Amino acid sequence: MGEARGTGKWCQPDVPHKGWLCTDVEDLGEPSQVCEMCEVMTIRYIHHMTHQYHPPLEVGCICAGHMEQDLVGARRREAAIKRLRPSWAKSHAGLAGDTWRLKMSIFGFSTEPTAGDFLPIIKYDARAGRIFRIDRTPDGREPIDITDSFAAVFDFENIETGWLNFSGPQPDFKLVKMGEVLPVRPSENHKNGIRLMLKLHPSCAGSDKPVREFSTSAKAALSGIEKVYLAYREGKPANGKLPIVAMRGSTPVKTGTGDRQSTNYVPKFEIVGWAGRPTDLVYIPRGSSGPGPNALPPTPPAQGYAAAKGNGNGAPAWSGGDWGDTPPATGSTRMQAPVAQQLAASVAQTKPADLADDFG
């Protein structure tokens, strides 16, 4: 719900409508305070705004975004406090008070130390045909195999494509929203890939942090994602619901010859239902810097399905990179697929309509 910009202080000429700065965000625990800018919306998350020519105001997300002329920034702040609140609550159990404030720096983000300020990930191992939830523990990162119970709401509406580099000390992404021209390739180490956000089903989400990031440049994984993305584009409902995707095993693909022969597994993702966007599945884009001085020439989107097949309803088909519309062909031999792995009973025996309710 958005604030009403034609009411309250928005109608007062002596109140600045832009040039504001957010100093911190506060979670009241429930909607219990009226936005001081529009004076209409009852809000839970308070954006504390300051201005050099006006006293501070406590406002909602949309009003804050217009006041600082950065709606994306305001939504990111609110998404951050929604992600971090569960971790904070666990570490502060037993303390009085239900409110929590996320202190912002002058740069527009929090500089307070926290162990939970990251978006956890999902990882697909193409060499084994297994999918893992990567949990952060005091001893480091722990991979949890969730292949047999995997089901998640995929935010295909905001899938990103571009260049990924996993060879350095930390991943480096240069991404754009699907359908936009690919950015300049930063280096030879950057490979075509995708990144999307998803929300895991309770059967495989673990104790917390069901919202995860899934990014990959592995061609076997990309081939599987491409197929389910095309199915999403062809069957996308008019009501804007997102697909519930399960993994139904994998297909081995051999590449190379002789000593260089290897086997990778293409995941068999399948849409098993549709769900409204979960309230905590808030799109947070990856930053993308400009081309470096030694950047390689731009890479145009692949034609693939867009030129050959389309998707049957006039919408543009997959154009997410230069890996084409099939797994690598050179030296490849497609083998018989193994028996499809089944979802856990809690998922497999649930009707799609009921499954959607599990995501909130």
Q: What's the pLDDT tens digit per position in 116-171?
A: 446 789 999 999 999 999 998 877 788 999 999 999 999 999 999 999 999 887 88
State the Cα–Cα distance between residues 328 and 206, nearest whole angstrom.
35
Query: What is the predicted pLDDT for the residue at 352?
Result: 52
Please check whether residues 84 and 189 belong to one and the same domain: no
Please check whether residues 36 and 132 belong to one and the same domain: no
State the Cα–Cα distance between residues 57 and 47, nearest whole angstrom.
8
Q: Is residue 113 part of a domain?
A: no
Query: What is the predicted pLDDT for the residue at 138?
Result: 77
Please check whether residues 344 and 282 belong to one and the same domain: yes
State the Cα–Cα distance between residues 142 and 121, nearest whole angstrom.
11
Confidence of residue 257 (pLDDT cuts 50, 70, 90): confident
**C-alpha angle with apex 288: 173 to 277, nearest 5 degrees?**
80
Which of 103, 137, 153 is a domain's end point? 103
Type and span of the H or E element at 198: strand 191-200
Q: pLDDT digit string (tens) for 270-303?
A: 999 999 999 889 888 875 543 444 445 444 444 4
What sign has the CA pseudo-torsion 332, 334, 301, 286?
negative
State the Cα–Cα distance between residues 19 and 13, nearest whole angstrom.
14
Rounding to the nearest 10 degrees, give the CA dihedral for residues 218, 221, 224, 225.
-90
Q: Is residue 274 part of a domain?
A: yes
Decide if 281 contacts 153 (C-beta within 8 A).
yes
pLDDT over 90 percentage in the chain: 48
Radius of gyration of the CA atoms of the chain, in A: 23
Strands 191-200 and 151-154 come out as antiparallel
Hunting for tokens 């239902």 — which residue is that? 273
pTM score over 0.95: no
Confidence of residue 351 (pLDDT cuts 50, 70, 90): low
Domain hosting residue 268, numbered range: 121-357
State the Cα–Cα distance between residues 334 and 324, nearest whole angstrom.
17
| Residue 70 burial (C-beta neighbours within 10 Å; 0-12, 13-18, 19+) | middle
Q: How many domains does the chain have?
A: 2
Q: Is residue 110 part of a domain?
A: no
Please check whether residues 295 and 337 belong to one and the same domain: yes
Please check whether residues 50 and 198 belong to one and the same domain: no
Instruction: Identify the DSSP state of 156.
Output: G
Q: How far is CA 212 from CA 16, 48, 134, 196, 302, in A?
A: 38, 28, 9, 9, 27
Q: 136, 121, 117, 116: which is closest to 211 by C-alpha?
A: 121
pLDDT of 332 over the 60 cut: no
Which of 103, 132, 157 is a domain's end point? 103
Strands 211-216 and 121-125 come out as parallel
Instruction: Tell me which of 49-58, 71-80, 95-104 is least confident.
Output: 95-104
Q: Is residue 108 part of a domain?
A: no
